[in-house]
Structure 1
Amino acid sequence: MAVSIRCADFNNDCPAQFTTPDEGELLQHVELHTKSAHQPMDWTPELAEVVKTHVRQV
């Protein structure tokens, strides 16, 4: 089953959203997005865990 996440789920105005076949791939997309669009935010293991709590199955 596919998984999805929206950047807006984190209380910001960013319109980015991602849907992938699995959580691992989704986290890779979110990591790249975070590093390029939300500087100087760092991608950390702690942030990855927070992101996982917002992942939805679609």
Structure 2
Amino acid sequence: GDKTILQPGMMPAVDGSVSVKKTFRAQVGDSFIVTENGYEPLTEFAKDLEDVVC
């Protein structure tokens, strides 16, 4: 994998997806900004399964 050390000011995105043949596809992702003390999320979408499944 990528060995890049995250530095303050960087904005990584974490994405994942799943598909079932050609009948279903779901994709989720988050973006963050790295700070001096950790990170702050930039994505404000619901993450609970009950909130995202229609």
Instruction: Give the alignment's TM-score, normalised by structure 2.
Output: 0.28
Task: Flag the structure with higher helix content.
Answer: 1
Query: 1 or 2 for the larger relative contact order (CA 8 Å, sep ≥6)?
Result: 1
Task: Flag the structure with higher strand content.
Answer: 2
Instruction: Tell me which structure has the larger Cα radius of gyration.
Output: 2
